[in-house]
Structure 1
Amino acid sequence: MKSLRAQLIFFWVLLFGMCIALAVVMLTLYRSSAGAQVAAGRGATEQSCRAIAARYAKSTAAPAPVQPQVDLLQVLLQLVLIETPHVEGGVWQGAGGHLAYAYPTYEGSGVKRDVPAAEQPLIVEMAQLAARTQQPQTDVVRGSREALIVSACPLAAPGHDLAAWTMTRTNGGALAAQGSLRAGLGVLLLLVLASGLWLGFILLRGLRHVQRLENRLAEADADGSAMPELPRTGVRELDRIVDGFNRYRLRFEEAQAHLRTAAQQRGRDQRLAALGRMTGGIAHEIRNPIATMRLRAENALAADPERQGAALQVIVGQIDRLDGLVRSLLALVQPLTLAPVDVVLHHWLEERISAVASKADAAGVQVTLQHDMPASASFDPVHLARAVDNLLDNAVRHAPRGGHVVLSASLREARTLAIRVDDDGPGVPAPLRASLFEPFATGRADGTGLGLALAREVALAHGGELHHVPLTPGTRFELELPWRIS
């Protein structure tokens, strides 16, 4: 059970179950204790009453006298009740009322000889009922502090109006505790309800705060903000987490800023490091067109005037080549200043395909766009267009006639935008892969080797990278960029 909500709900239900079980146990113990005392008292009174009736029957000759002997009755009561503690009894007759009474185990200071006045109506009622029905009778009267138990047994008499009775009271402790038990159960119930309500309140409030934080993170994620600032909740434990998260956010943003600065510095360092390597390449790339133009110009001066036009066309072509070389060098050497905006990705990629469509048609290569991509992204559309155009131009140049070039984009789980250009050409030669993104590294005789270097500089300026992935057959160049550029 890993959910905090499930654990709290389980604890809440368990608390209620334990309190209910405790209440049931307390009530059961109370009832069993009080019931046992009443049952014991009832058994004592009934047994004593039957014993009085049995001894009276043995001591009286048949037929039974109309008027029993009081002394005999008194002796019988003493003999029987002396063996039963806390039980008192007597003999009642319809014509004479109470004939005898005894309480030999009375714990008072003297000898108790009078029938209890408060219980006389119940005693008379039970004696009359026993004499009339000639059957033993028992009644239990429960009070707030004790239970009164009265038993009556018929005695042999001509008028059927003679009965013996016995009476006892249960220990008042259990019955006296009834009010306290009820009060205790009431307090227990109130505590259970209060604790359950309080626990539910804490649970709902905590879950509400957690839901608010979760919504804030979800909103920030939808807006493209990687690390939002979380509001305080007022709950000390949650605020510790919130404060820790906010402090981490500040450190994360500082680290991001340092990372961007380091990436920019890395790009500048790479450009400076490559500057030395570029010097030889630049000299070679400039020397060849100059030598060609010098040769053509000298030949034109020595040749007929009608042949000078062709020489001038060659010279103009070499000048265009030098101009393109200088433009590429300036773009590669000068630092890039990005202006990121939200771009509708599908339309922007369609423009890239349109830009290379004429060259692809001339080369007999089909260029397609894969439609599995996010709706929009944030980057510099001008600089990134130059990078993607260079990648598409290389793919079209290396794809065979009748081949295919695929342009696609996808959003990865790490919030990274990946733009891929695939072709089914022969691939990059193994000796060239180590220096593939360096200036003037090219496998074509007519290439300058600046296109991939410029595309990689654009990726680095965005905080991303350009990768080469060999395919079978073909080549993939993949631009990895942050989905949102701040």
Structure 2
Amino acid sequence: MKRPSFSTQLVVLWALVAALCAVLVAIVGFMAISAESQQIAGARQQVTAACEAVASRYSLSRPLSAATGNTDLMHAVLDIVLAQEQNVEGGFWTSGPVALAVPHGATQSRDSEAAVNAPPTGFLAYAFPTYQGSGIKRDIPEAETPLILRTLRTAAATHTAAADVIRSGPDAVVAAACTVKDEPALFAWMLTRARPPLGPHGELLVTGLAAILAVILVVAVALAVTLRRWKRNLNLLESGLSLESSVEPAGQLPRLHEPELDRIVDALNRYANRAEQLRQQTADLSDKLARAERFSVLGKLAAQVAHEIRNPAGAMRLKAENALAGDSERQQGALRFILEQIGRIETQVASLLALTQPVTVKPQKVNVAGWLASVVESHRELARQRGIRLMLVTKLEALAEAPTPALPEFDPEQLRRALDNLLLNALRHVGEAGMVTVTAQRDWSAGRPHLRIAVSDNGPGVPADQRERIFEPFVTGRPDGSGLGLAVVREVASAHGGRAWLDGKLAGACFVIEIPWQPSS
């Protein structure tokens, strides 16, 4: 029987290689299509869950007011919730006329100005906290606006959560909309983009690829045996395999007792050993990265715990040390103070555990002068220890414009939590012999009385590149800061129907909390 010619053998071998490559491409395509649908389903579930979380948190945190659209509270809720959702953006939308809750001083805030100029129907608020660009992203994406509106109108028509998808090549844009409890005309919406990876069939794909590559390797060895007469080409192939090669053999190949082929086998085995070493190094680096990420999370939590309880613990220690040198009456007073601070620490620890929960306001009538004196006094020891003057100024005279109730109504524990954060920030940033001033006053604006509390210092102030983002989660000017203190301040103020901002007109830093004197009925 006549043997096929060398050229025929070569054509057959390469035809087999081409067929195997075609099978490989078909498998990859099938896996990509399957992964796309499952990735879209995961993205749909993610944005639906984020939408319901935003709607629920806004419903629980909105102020006790007849107004429906509190844009400052909307932005606060969006920033807090979406900071934990990578690549998810969203906002609020209304399907009918809405009475916007515009805090006093709207001309001083771009978000409040947008609320004033907002149309009676349409988009009310928007946020994208994990956006990688510079500055705060507040512009709604134009290309996806038709998809967003279509989803919102479906939710408005059915009064249930709705989701929609637009596919563009391998990518897909997923939008979800849901209703806000007790506000039939107000809806939350979320948007994300799905880029499918290998998906859950990745293991099957890898197994198929490994089998195909093994067959390709066998074919390559057979082709090498057929071409052994071409010694110079074999030497070039050996040289290429010794440096870099896309072929990755599995395990150690046996020697074939053929000088030319044995050199190729040795080169392949050396490459396999080198690839195994690289894989081991990659695994070690992945473990180190995972440990570093865990330590980073623990570091942020430790910084937040220290931020919330270090001051009362230090005050208790100073009181105890002073009481040891005093009489029994002084010791009794110190013990009462320590018990009070322990209760405060317990409250703060509970607040830390509930950091991701909505702020629930329980308003009551409060004697502002006495309450403020108690708050400032709890920071007096720390200020004295650092050589800082801590002053309290109250301007709570009756307003001439209109009759005002003698006592305001707010949640003293929640507002104290916010004020403690501002005082601790000021005491940490102002230098020795500096001064921190707490000013409380009552004024009349936007047709109703307000309580305004300002914490100012003569320190270096807030850097210009951080002023616009200073109230966002995880934005901090200190290496040991958690970046959550001012985010909590803003959410507490918004939950009371007010707002918090940085007054950039004064030297140093001046943070202001402004809330209605009494909640709207």
Q: TM-score, normalised by structure 2?
A: 0.36
Larger Rg: 1
Normalization by structure 1: what TM-score? 0.38
Q: Which protein is richer in helix relative to its size?
A: 1
